[in-house]
Chains A and B, each alone.
Chain A
Amino acid sequence: MEGAFSYAPAIAAFPLVAFVVALAFGKYMPKKGALAGILATAGSLLLSVVMLVAVASGEVYHGTIYEWAVGDALTEVGADGIEFTFGILIDPLSALMLVIVSLVAFLVHVFSLGYMNGEGETGLPRYYAGLGLFTFSMLSFVLADNLLMAFMFFELVGLCSFLLIGFWFRTRSAPSAAKKAFLVTRFGDYFFLIGVVAIASTFGTLQFAGEESFVAAAETAIADGTTLFGFGPETWVTITGLLVLGGVIGKSAQFPLHTWLPDAMEGPTTVSALIHAATMVAAGVYLVARMFGYYAQSPTALSIIAFVGGFTALFAATMGVVKDDIKQVLAYSTISQYGYMMLGMGVGGYVAGVFHLMNHAFFKALLFLGAGSVIVLMHHEQDMWKMGGLKDKAPVTYWTFLAGALALAGIVPFSGFWSKDEVLYDALIVGLEQPVILAAYAMGLLAVFFTGFYTFRMVFLTFHGEPRTDTAENPHSVGWSIKFPLVVLGALALLAGVANLAPVAKLTGMDITYLEFWLDGEYGYVEGLTYHDYHELVAFEEGYISSETVTMLLGAGLSLGLAVAGAVTAHVLYNVPEPTRHTAKLGGAYDVLRSNYYQDEYQVWLAEGLTLPLARAADRFDQTVIDGVVNGVSTASLFGGDRVKRIQTGIVTNYAALLVAGFIALLLVLGFIGGWFL
């Protein structure tokens, strides 16, 4: 390892130490482990920034740090050995993600001081240990240089998610939600693991980068037309890519495996901010970005990603419209926003997807923490209909929340506008040539309206109007540890868009699309992992309406107009002193939306209505038929023995008679065989 990169393992190791410290000694520490977590994440943040700077100065790092297992395996492309390793890959993408994750983790740790430590909460060491373990796993996932390592930490963040959602385990709902979150994502991970195993069996390597990577091996196989497991190479790449995508869909809460995320709001709001909005849910999209070179070789897989993304964006946004719980609104908006990222990735808009990932991490963490602040203000009340008028009582919370809301709704010049617009623009230009993508684009576009609507419905109901309850009248106060993260993230929500002002660049010709340069190898880069490498691989045609600029302006105007229209609708309906629900107008649609399109119902039915009875039937079959045969054999022998034993009368004379009879019989038999009687 050279230079700054020799400290890279410490980025993940710090939170691991914090986990151990909080678990073992948290009880005895003044803030119950919070300080250890804050210090560790601050250290990780610092080192992540160092990595970012190192990459900016043109260096990258890719190296193996630990050999997990080695062995012989005759793989489909003819390699005969395989190494499963833990390695570190620091390129522009992972360096950026490291900063995002460690920044949000740090801020959430600070926020937790005010949110969790406040009110005699028990089990805080467990909470901070969970956060530490999560941060360790997430950072290790980001650092991973191969698919297996990525899978392993992908699973571990799932564990942390389980533990933290179930933090309040004494309730009924939290353990249930935790179980559901783990199970649903596990279902996705089942496909992911098949994908990992299949890719390893096919190419004999799981590396993301370099000549030895499975991406490069897939390129070679497609070029050579090698038959893989009886399929053509492209088909097989599509199949394995889609298998891995199963994990992505589970973790990033895409349709149809999105149902766990709203339930996951049972966890502490800080956990929702860190895990279920900014980082863990991003793991899925990050994974797509990480192995984008693989997906880029399969237009089918890309189209499916795009379509699922576009559909999820709209689908989730409509459900967010009717929610009363402030965290539920945010949960559905998270699902919806990750849909946009998937849409961006699916149309080959690698930069746009990563850009939106970054912005979303900031503004959604902000919104969740803001919601956390509101919940503190409201003495742990989450129903928006019981709030109102908090604007004047808590100005810091209000203004930062508003910044996040504007970013989420995609109002210029907040960060969300720039990235969402870029996603939609990339989708549009590809969609003009591909009907499927156009449909995905249309859904994404329509979702913009709903996003603007539910976002501002939330803002107006929470902060505007008259206070609707006594608690809203006299809110609790919040301390610096709550305000500081809000201000930092609020600034980022406003300014992060500067990273990639693509429309401005196109109009003015200035070189200000920094993120694109960043991901395209202007600074440090790893061969084969840059934007233009990917762009060459993606086989989509691009089309324009009259010209590039016109198309861009048209798209941007359309999405901004829809967002504003949504916001204005919300304003008209809900920004009044005494707002009403207005849901009667929706008629039957309201019930459908309110029940989340019955997605939960059918999945619960699959588990409880189908699998469980099937298991019970299997149990009955086992107890009666299989064990019945076993017991039947024993019963038959016992019965036989019971009959035969009656020979034993207890009368000695009978025994003697039997003895003699037996002797004579034996004599006769031997005689026959010996031929005496012939």
Chain B
Amino acid sequence: MSVAAGVEYYVLLSMGLFCIGLFGILTRRNALMFLMSVELMLNAANINLIAFAFYHGNLTGQVFALFTMALAAAEVAVGLGIILVLYRNFRDVDVTVPTTMRW
């Protein structure tokens, strides 16, 4: 296996990806965009996991990354379901409209 770039580059990449996702969550109102942003953040975490797994030379992180992907798939399924219900109830997929689920 060839010597790749240092782990810090992967961390920087993951950080960037995460910040993009975070930015999306904080600024977008469309629920679908929300979901995509969350995916970005999850993938940022995945990159971290794999990078450090490579760095430490074991497989634990990679296994975790697989887990995360499976969870992300499930989460998207649930998330899309919620969005459908949102749309049905509010005729909109804007996340700031439904505020009834508070005190």
Contacts and interface: CB of A to CB of B under 8 A. Distances in A.
Query: Are A and B direct contacts in the complex by CB distance below 8 Å?
Result: yes
Given A660-B22, A660-B26, A653 B96 contact: yes
Nearest to A652: B95
Interface in A641-675: 645, 648-653, 656-657, 660
Interface string B31-67: 0001000000000000000000000000000000000
B100 interface: yes
Contacts of B95: 651-653
Contacts of B29: 653
Given A653-B26, A653-B29, A660-B26, A645 B103 contact: yes
A648 B26 contact: no
Between A649, A652, A660, the greatest number of chain B beta carbons within 10 A of the residue's beta carbon is seen for A652
A666 to B, nearest CB: 16
Contacts of B98: 650
Contacts of B101: 650
Contact of A650 (B22, B26, B100): B100
B91 interface: no
B86 to A, nearest CB: 11
Nearest to B97: A651
B interface secondary structure, majority: loop
A351 to B, nearest CB: 88
A212 to B, nearest CB: 76
Nearest to B102: A650
Contacts of B102: 645, 648-650
Contact of B99 (A650, A656, A660): A650
Interface string B5-49: 000000000000000001001100100001000000000000000
A649 B26 contact: no
B96 A656 contact: no
A650 B100 CA distance: 7
A651 B99 CA distance: 6
Contacts of A650: 98-102
A673 B31 CA distance: 38
Contacts of A645: 102-103
Contacts of A656: 22, 25-26
Interface string A574-609: 000000000000000000000000000000000000
Interface in A619-658: 645, 648-653, 656-657
Interface of A: prevailing SS? helix
Nearest to A645: B103
A373 B98 CA distance: 93
A651 B34 CA distance: 13
Interface in A75-115: none
Interface in B80-103: 95-96, 98-103
Nearest to B22: A660
Contacts of B103: 645, 648
Contacts of A651: 95-96, 99
Nearest to A656: B25
A284 B101 CA distance: 78
B26 A657 contact: yes
A418 to B, nearest CB: 93
A657 B95 CA distance: 14
- In this complex, the member of A645, A650, A657, A660 whose beta carbon has the largest number of chain B beta carbons within 10 angstroms is A650
A649 B96 CA distance: 10
A657 B22 CA distance: 9
Contacts of B26: 653, 656-657, 660
Nearest to B101: A650
A254 B61 CA distance: 98
B39 to A, nearest CB: 15
B91 to A, nearest CB: 18
B99 to A, nearest CB: 3
Nearest to B29: A653
Contacts of B25: 653, 656
Nearest to A663: B22
Nearest to A650: B99
A163 B103 CA distance: 61
Chain A CB count within 10 A is highest, among B25, B100, B101, for B25
Contacts of B99: 649-651
A134 to B, nearest CB: 68
A653 B103 CA distance: 17
Contacts of B22: 656, 660
B3 to A, nearest CB: 31
A653 B29 CA distance: 8
A87 B71 CA distance: 87
B44 to A, nearest CB: 14
Contacts of B96: 651-653
Nearest to B25: A656
Contacts of A649: 99, 102
A658 to B, nearest CB: 11
B7 to A, nearest CB: 21
Contacts of A653: 25-26, 29, 95-96
A650 B98 CA distance: 7
A641 to B, nearest CB: 9
B36 to A, nearest CB: 14
B89 to A, nearest CB: 14
B75 to A, nearest CB: 15
A89 to B, nearest CB: 77
A141 B83 CA distance: 89
A51 B28 CA distance: 108
Nearest to B34: A652
Nearest to B27: A653
A645 B103 CA distance: 7
A656 B21 CA distance: 12
B78 to A, nearest CB: 15
A637 to B, nearest CB: 15
Contacts of A648: 102-103
B20 to A, nearest CB: 14
Nearest to A648: B102
A650 B102 CA distance: 5
Contacts of B34: 652
Given A645-B103, A650-B99, A653-B95, 10 more contacts: A645-B102, A648-B102, A650-B100, A651-B96, A652-B34, A652-B95, A653-B26, A656-B25, A657-B26, A660-B22
Interface of A: 645, 648-653, 656-657, 660
13 contacts: A645-B103, A648-B102, A648-B103, A649-B99, A650-B98, A650-B100, A651-B96, A652-B96, A653-B25, A653-B26, A656-B26, A657-B26, A660-B22
Interface of B: 22, 25-26, 29, 34, 95-96, 98-103
Report, nearest first, the 4 A-B pairs whose CB atoms are least far apart.
A650-B99, A650-B102, A652-B95, A648-B102
